[in-house]
A = this chain, B = another copy of it.
Amino acid sequence: MGGDNAPGAIVAGSLRAHRELGVHVLLTGRPDVVRACLKEQGAEEGPGLEVVDAPDVIPSGAADPARAVRSTKGASVSVAARLVREGRADAALSAGPTGAALAAGVLEMGRLPGVSRPAITVVLPFPGSPKVLVDAGANADVRPEHLAGFAVLGSVFAEVALGLAEPRVGLLNVGEEPGKGNELVRQAFPLLEKAPIRFLGNVEGRDIPAGDVDVVVTDGFTGNVSLKLMEGFARFLMGQLLGVFSASDEARAALDVVLPGLLELREALSPEAAGGAQLLGVRGVCIIAHGSSSAEAIFAAVRVAAQTVDAGLVQRVTERLSGGGAS
């Protein structure tokens, strides 16, 4: 029920994942609404495509979606997370507000042993230098030991999501030298050095797109600002570029030539296409899709959910935390 295009796009994307990938889908929401939506799209409940009753709906535009999730038990995102806790589902997916998905994931699934702060990870799909950003917005205020925990979560996630044996981890800072930065990162630095990760040291903002690390660790405030800044800046530059290409007939003709390449580039840079955000450190796979997700984006997110389950992410995080400490 969550998301700008819910339930239509959610149902459409899930339905496609069910049909094309054979994913077993449980749609949580108001049964009458979801069933009507399925019917509209020429489908109906059956084996591998179930509707699960979630009686409560958080009004879109609720001032505090996280609080709404905590005060009701029957929101679709809460029911989805509960299905994972009960072993009836392997992953939960929501396109509702991030705060709501975060609250539902933590409350309903619970935290893994050794995790004090679950974090949001996102794959930044830069061609040639993809990155994992952690925390992308779950924790606005953190302590140094939380950053060390995020580093471990992000490192295991990068193994799975980017297929790396030993991901290179960097701490986001205002300079490269140890000793740089605010009190938080200065205190976190030695903790990351001791964590069971391949820690390369500090990285700067410019290293997020281009640097020689695979995982960028930061607090949820800086991470969320950075993520939205890239989103806004990419959109802004695309707009400016279109301005350059509409300056003359010749330029418009040039656009025709390179447009497919430009659209491909835009697609390649989209975190949605890379599977959106994941909540790490909880007892299950929890995917947080963009609020504006299209059916296409939901399909991609369901595929990532299935891949993440198949790769045994939660088990791997659990093992790393019990073996190496540091979270």
Contact = CB atoms under 8 A, between A and B. Distances in A.
Interface of A: 63-64, 126-127, 137, 140-141, 172-174, 177, 179, 181-183, 185, 204-211, 218-222, 224-237, 240-241, 244-245, 247-248, 250-251, 253-255, 257-258, 261-262, 264-265, 269
Given A232-B208, A250-B257, A221 B265 contact: no
B206 A231 contact: yes
Nearest to A207: B232
A234 B237 contact: yes
Contacts of A245: 258, 261
A299 to B, nearest CB: 25
Contact of A228 (B183, B204, B236): B204
B221 A235 contact: no
A140 B179 CA distance: 12
A232 B52 CA distance: 46
A237 B237 contact: yes
A232 B244 contact: no
Contacts of A244: 258, 261-262, 264-265
A208 B63 CA distance: 23
A182 B221 contact: yes
A228 B208 CA distance: 9
Contacts of A64: 179
Contacts of A225: 172-174, 204-205, 218, 222, 225-226
